[in-house]
């Protein structure tokens, strides 16, 4: 009882406000935010935002439209309801809603605090079109777990993003926070409340908090303390099940990075979904500077879960290099409701994805052949996007058409741009320098707190490397000339050949030949701009064709799924009849499905290469 008593006092002290508060203006902060995770009904959390006194006549309160790393406009304001502003006498004030994410208060000098309820995203993903990607989403499951991606909960006042925040969270007993946000220990009597401090609003957004019944494993990689926290709905997995693989992988990552030292701690927050209609469906992860939120299905077997964690976390962890240590003003002073996007996705995502593959061959986790195979797969996947689209233009306009639909190419061509650049710098420096060296130079010059100017970065890179690097950027990154990878691979004694490979009928591995057109009643069409397999080509199907029917069955998103399933049982003589719509006309094709193959690239080492080239290749892959 005593503890509770102290707790109430502490909260009252921390959260106390009233007329006297007029003495403290908002300018220095902190903005106090109170979140109640105890009194939760209908998966809604009550949030109170209490700023210092405003001296301006009117103020806008905003919830983010978009956050760093998602590259999509998600309107987190749509999950807010019952917003009320109170004056210092405790009376509700007039609030006008300017858009889905913005509320305007005209008598700002009278404003004491704002109160509202937050709905979570996981249980409505199924119903909403363009649902928030689960790792950026929120979950409110009373007494079980709370995924607090704080951009869904905590707003900011226009013009006051650079002031400190104090976050006070009342939590159910038995649940514990996992986060990289700075926790303040005020009094051991605060048993059911946690207090966190952020130096500015960015830190609030950059540090998700995951409340669960504690299931954590902590280990050291180099000087970094890594904590893995898990929520597994049926208890099928524990953090200890994944610890060894994570520890081995991240130790290898740290060995690869060497002395890049951007953070002292790193949190992996893993949410495993039941995959039911009311649970998370967007699997993968979202990076933050010193943590990552990972969402995966609980039902997959341990070896696949481990592999998914290796693939996802190795990428996210390398984000401690960029953007954490190397980023531009656009990211440092991110505008959550009218974002200016940086030109350098080739680096933020491309370098990160390239390192996530290179470190594995570098540290002996995979063979050279496997590394070549991965780069080759990226070349083939990149064919699904516009190869003649300037990467810097795409990056700056990534929230808009036609750039938005090319976003995923940052993980394919983005990585290959870095491979070619790495090879070029290795060649010019006799193997001594590469992209990792470059990133170390940039991170020494800039670092966590010093953003670069977006349009000066390439000049800077050229100035510390070679004139050929400028040509490379001008042609292939700023310009729209596709890269001839064979030229770069040849410098390393490798050839790029076309070979015929087995394929599925509708999928090559996990990548489908077909897609859904959401703007055309979910029509199923054959993807354009990609290499089709012998099944489609043999029948005379072309990229862009809409599949109207297969063997008389009308095709839509529902009916195509079982047909894809059945196709795994088809033999070469299975007959098929497709009704296609091409340029507004109906075309019918039919014939035997055959044995599907596809022409793909293959990277092979040349047998007799000079010792010089061998040494260069070694420096690239093992240096």
Nearer to Zn ion, 415 or 580 (CB): 415
Question: Could you give phi then psi for residue 103, rounded to 5 degrees?
Answer: -125, 130
Task: Please tell me the distance from the alpha carbon of residue 229 to that of residue 414, in angstroms, as a whole number.
Answer: 30
328, 453 Cβ separation under 8 angstroms: yes
Task: Please tell me the distance from the alpha carbon of residue 556 to that of residue 569, in angstroms, as a whole number.
Answer: 21
Q: By rule CB under 5 A, what string of x and - marks binding of each residue 314-333 to Zn ion?
A: --------------------
Q: How far is the CB of 74 from Zn ion (least distance, A)?
A: 17
255, 249 Cβ separation under 8 angstroms: no
Say whether 205 sits in a helix, a strand or coil. helix
Nearer to Zn ion, 38 or 408 (CB): 408
Say whether 329 sits in a helix, a strand or coil. helix
Number of H helices, E strands in the chain: 17, 30
Nearer to Zn ion, 349 or 579 (CB): 349
Q: How far is the CB of 90 from Zn ion (least distance, A)?
A: 45
Q: How far is the CB of 319 from Zn ion (least distance, A)?
A: 6
Task: Please tell me the distance from the alpha carbon of residue 37 to that of residue 41, in angstroms, as a whole number.
Answer: 10
Task: Please tell me the distance from the alpha carbon of residue 325 to that of residue 24, in angstroms, as a whole number.
Answer: 34
Which residues in the 423-482 window bind Zn ion by CB under 5 A? Answer: none
28, 52 Cβ separation under 8 angstroms: yes
Exposed/middle/buried for residue 531 (C-beta within 10 Å: 0-12, 13-18, 19+): middle
Strands 44-50 and 111-119: antiparallel
Nearer to Zn ion, 349 or 380 (CB): 349
Tokens at 10, concatenated: 């502490």
Which residues in the 557-596 window bind Zn ion by CB under 5 A? Answer: none
Nearer to Zn ion, 70 or 429 (CB): 70
Q: How far is the CB of 461 from Zn ion (least distance, A)?
A: 20
Task: Please tell me the distance from the alpha carbon of residue 409 to that of residue 158, in angstroms, as a whole number.
Answer: 34
Nearer to Zn ion, 46 or 319 (CB): 319
Which residues in the 134-153 window bind Zn ion by CB under 5 A? Answer: none
Q: How far is the CB of 318 from Zn ion (least distance, A)?
A: 8
Total of residues contacting Zn ion (CB under 5 A): 1
Nearer to Zn ion, 399 or 589 (CB): 399
Nearer to Zn ion, 312 or 438 (CB): 312
Q: How far is the CB of 34 from Zn ion (least distance, A)?
A: 33
Q: How far is the CB of 415 from Zn ion (least distance, A)?
A: 11
Q: How far is the CB of 414 from Zn ion (least distance, A)?
A: 10
Nearer to Zn ion, 37 or 310 (CB): 310
Q: By rule CB under 5 A, what string of x and - marks binding of each residue 337-356 to Zn ion?
A: ------------x-------
93, 111 Cβ separation under 8 angstroms: yes
111, 87 Cβ separation under 8 angstroms: yes
Q: How far is the CB of 190 from Zn ion (least distance, A)?
A: 36
Q: Is the peptide bond before 30 cis (omega within 30 degrees of 0)?
A: yes
Task: Please tell me the distance from the alpha carbon of residue 184 to that of residue 40, in angstroms, as a whole number.
Answer: 24
Tokens at 337, concatenated: 């409701």
Residue ranges that bind Zn ion, judged by CB under 5 A: 349
């Amino acid at each position: 009882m005593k503890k509770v008593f102290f707790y109430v006092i502490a909260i009252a002290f921390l959260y106390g406000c009233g007329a006297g508060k007029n003495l403290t203006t908002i300018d220095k902060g902190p903005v106090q935010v109170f979140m109640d995770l105890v009194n939760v009904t209908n998966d809604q959390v009550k949030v109170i935002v209490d700023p210092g006194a405003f001296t301006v006549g009117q103020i806008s309160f905003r919830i983010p439209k978009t956050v760093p790393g998602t590259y999509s406009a998600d309107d987190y304001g749509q999950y807010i309801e019952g917003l009320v502003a109170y004056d210092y006498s405790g009376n509700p004030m007039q609030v006008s809603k300017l858009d889905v994410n913005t509320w305007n208060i005209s008598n700002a000098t009278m404003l004491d605090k704002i109160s509202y309820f937050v709905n979570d995203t996981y249980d409505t993903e199924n119903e909403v079109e363009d649902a928030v990607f689960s790792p950026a989403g929120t979950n409110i499951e009373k007494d079980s777990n709370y995924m607090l991606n704080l951009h869904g909960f905590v707003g900011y006042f226009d013009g006051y993003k650079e002031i400190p925040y104090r976050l006070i969270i009342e939590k159910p007993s038995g649940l514990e926070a996992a986060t990289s946000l700075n926790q303040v220990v005020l009094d051991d009597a605060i048993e059911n409340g946690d207090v966190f401090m952020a130096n500015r609003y960015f830190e609030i957004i950059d540090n998700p908090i995951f409340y669960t019944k504690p299931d954590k494993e902590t280990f050291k990689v180099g000087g970094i303390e890594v904590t893995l926290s898990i929520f597994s709905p049926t208890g099928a997995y524990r953090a200890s099940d994944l610890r060894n693989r994570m520890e081995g992988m991240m130790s290898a990552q740290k060995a690869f990075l060497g002395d890049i030292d951007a953070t002292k701690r790193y949190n992996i927050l893993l949410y495993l979904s039941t995959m039911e209609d009311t649970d998370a469906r967007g699997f993968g992860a979202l990076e933050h500077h010193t943590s990552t939120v990972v969402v995966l299905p609980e039902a997959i077997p341990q070896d696949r879960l481990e592999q998914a964690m290796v693939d996802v976390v190795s990428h996210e962890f390398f984000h401690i290099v960029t953007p954490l240590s190397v980023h531009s003003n656009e990211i440092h002073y991110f505008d959550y409701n009218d974002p200016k996007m940086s030109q350098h996705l080739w680096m933020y995502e491309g370098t990160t994805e390239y390192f996530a593959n290179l470190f594995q061959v570098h540290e002996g986790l995979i063979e050279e052949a496997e590394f070549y195979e991965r780069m080759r797969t990226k070349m083939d996947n990149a064919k699904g996007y516009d190869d003649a689209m300037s990467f810097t233009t795409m990056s700056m306009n990534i929230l808009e058409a036609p750039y938005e639909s090319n976003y995923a190419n940052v993980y394919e061509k983005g990585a290959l741009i870095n491979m070619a650049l790495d090879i070029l710098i290795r060649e010019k420096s006799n193997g001594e320098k590469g992209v990792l060296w470059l990133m170390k130079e940039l991170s020494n010059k800039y670092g966590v707190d010093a953003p670069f100017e977006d349009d000066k970065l390439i000049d800077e890179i050229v100035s510390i490397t070679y004139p050929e690097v400028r040509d490379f950027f001008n042609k292939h990154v700023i310009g729209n000339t596709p890269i001839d990878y064979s030229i770069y691979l040849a410098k390393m004694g490798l050839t790029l050949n076309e070979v015929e490979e087995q394929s599925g009928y509708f999928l090559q591995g996990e990548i489908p030949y077909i897609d859904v057109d959401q703007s055309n009643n979910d029509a199923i069409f054959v993807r354009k701009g990609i290499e089709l397999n012998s099944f489609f080509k043999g029948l005379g199907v072309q990229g862009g064709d809409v599949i109207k029917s297969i063997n008389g069955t009308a095709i839509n998103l529902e009916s195509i799924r079982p047909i894809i399933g059945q196709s795994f049982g088809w033999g070469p003589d299975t007959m098929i009849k497709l009704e296609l719509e091409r340029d507004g006309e109906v075309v019918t094709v039919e014939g035997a499905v055959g044995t599907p193959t596809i022409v793909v690239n293959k990277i092979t080492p040349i047998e007799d290469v000079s010792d010089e080239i061998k040494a260069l290749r070694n420096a690239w892959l093992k240096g």
